[in-house]
Amino acid sequence: MTLWVFGYASLLWNPGFEVAEACQGRLAGYARSFCMYSIHHRGTEEKPGLVLALDEDAGAHCDGMALRAAPGTEETALAYLRERELVSSAYLEKTLAVQLRDGREVQAVSYVIDPDHVQYCHLPLEEQAQLIASAHGGRGPNTEYLYNTAAHLDELGVPDADLHWLTARVRALEENK
- Annotated catalytic residue 127: no
Element (H or E) spanning 46, and its range?
none
* Paired sense of beta strands 91-100 and 4-7, if any: unpaired
Say if CB 36 and CB 53 are below 8 A apart. Answer: yes
CA 99 to each of CA 2, 40, 58, 91, 104: distance values in angstroms, whole numbers, following the listed order: 16, 31, 16, 22, 6
Q: How many CB atoms lie within 10 A of CB 140?
A: 13
Q: Which of 85, 93, 144, 175 is catalytic?
A: 85
- Cα separation, 17 vs 40, in Å, equals 20
DSSP strand E in 3-48: where? 4-7, 19-38
Write out the catalytic residue numbers.
85
